[in-house]
Structure 1
Amino acid sequence: MSAINEYYAALERLKANKPTVLPKGSAINNDTVALEAGRKRGSIKKSRHIALVQAIELAAKQAGQNVLSPIQQIEQAKSKTKAVKSDYEQLKEDYEKLLQKCNSLLLENFELRQSTRTI
């Protein structure tokens, strides 16, 4: 069996969610098809296997997976980074408030102990 036929067979197994090499539910992309076909990651080149790459992208879309362009991936990463930074800032603010409250309670506890000792 030629390599291209092995790639198409691997693609069909992934579409049917019955892979033999990869775990079930694996994403459909160039690398997973190559690995399922027993080849190395990155062995499917867009310049050499145009029809196969198009078939993989179509299968990924039909499977409900988003095939994002590099620009879209960067934008998605930026938005995730902004969300994480926002969450971090909120957590930092909450931490500072709790630290102030804890210190206030420690001071109050200390003052109450001092007042009970003098009585």
Structure 2
Amino acid sequence: MSAKIQTEQYFAALERLKARRAVISNDAVAMEAGKGRGSIKSSRPAHAALVAAIEEAAKAQRAFAVTADPVPGLRAEVDELTRRLDQSLEREVALLHELYDLRSRTKALGEENLRLKMGRLVPVK
């Protein structure tokens, strides 16, 4: 079989793999073309264009897989939102404690003010 026909079979196999969105590698293209693993060699001048096309398709496939899979980005966003929620809840609890302390001090000062108005002395601390 001539090298040109063989290369055309490999290119057709590459296109089929792209269409199926299967994992693209030299061995995968060779197997899809009905040849054995390792039959595509980058050292062969006839396969130079094929190897370049396979590498480009594999690179595009990896880039697409990174952009198509939103799970890692969503997980990071969920972690960030959880962290921010925990911080805001801690801040809320701290403010509630401060509010209760201020209310109790206000109540104590109001009672002391009432005693002073009535003429009763408050023991000096």
Which TM-score band (shorter chain)? 0.3 to 0.5
TM-score (norm 2): 0.44
TM-score (norm 1): 0.46
